[in-house]
Amino acid sequence: MKAKYIGLFAVILIFGIIFVPKIHDRIVNNTVVDNTRMSTAKSQQADVIVDTSETLLELQEVPDFDFINQNNEDITNDFYKGKVYVVEFFFSSCTTICPIMNRNMVQVSQEFTTQENFGIASISIDPSFDTPEVLKAYATRYNATHPNWNFLTADQETIHKLSNEGFKLFAAQDKDDIDGFSHSGLFALVDQNGVVRSRKDTHGNPLFYYNGLEQEGIDMLIQDIKKLL
């Protein structure tokens, strides 16, 4: 029995001498994770976003729409065929995020003042107030002068369906909101074929939209428009 304990002790001692320092080193160097898994993770990171047009994901097609713009003109998908364009959902009486969104949208438009194959669709989620006349005054106030920038209105049900189902951008009446409506501050990018385009994150997942409230989002949007033009 005594010899058995001595043998067991010897095995434990040898294990400690050989393997404990190695385990310690791997902990210190943060390499405890299996080498195969580490290699796989590195290979996945090698496929992360590369700023070329080929890496912009193709998402859903934009559904058909038929709206009236600030000049009382009928605007459908046909107007934007062959154009790269940006879509936002806003309303003119919004006092919170919409002014920021549209100041930033002006910045975007000024990057492409001479581009006939670029456009913007600013769609009101409060059409009962935002008549073409109201939208025209709003466009003037923000110096929205690009010829392909349309401020659009229709019936509320149609617009909210396009926003929530077509673009997956939330928009709804909200009695608890200071201005009576809730919506996102995001912009959608659409290519010449009417397909929503997007960057992807470090895991390959689509980002879907561009932050219309932050300069970083605006810079990325401008870069990606240039890729598609």
pLDDT in tens, 95-117: 999 999 999 999 999 999 999 99
Residue 24 has a pLDDT of 39
Which among 61, 67, 70, 62 is positioned nearest to 149, based on CA atoms?
A: 70
Please say whether the beta carbons of 106 and 146 come within 8 A.
no
Angle between the N-to-C axes of helices 98-110 and 215-228, in degrees from 0 to 180, rounded to the nearest 10: 40
Which among 180, 173, 170, 139 is positioned nearest to 156, based on CA atoms?
A: 173
Long-range contacts of 25-31 (CB under 8 A, 24+ apart): none
According to CATH, what is the number of the domain 53-228?
3.40.30.10
Highest mean pLDDT among 2-16, 39-53, 147-161: 147-161
Cα–Cα distance, 120 to 132 (Å, whole number): 16
In this prediction, residues 29-42 reach a mean pLDDT of 33
The band of 88, judged by pLDDT with boundaries at 50, 70 and 90, is very high
Higher-pLDDT residue of 136 and 53 is 136
Helix (H/G/I), strand (E/B), else coil: 16: helix
Cα–Cα distance, 57 to 197 (Å, whole number): 5
Residue 182 has a pLDDT of 87
Tokens representing 71? 């000049």
How does strand 66-68 pair with strand 195-198? unpaired
168 contacts: CB under 8 Å, gap ≥ 6: 60, 208
* Rg (the chain; Cα; Å): 27
Please say whether the beta carbons of 125 and 135 come within 8 A.
no
Cα–Cα distance, 203 to 53 (Å, whole number): 18
Cα–Cα distance, 137 to 92 (Å, whole number): 10
Q: How much is the pTM?
A: 0.76
In this prediction, residues 182-198 reach a mean pLDDT of 97
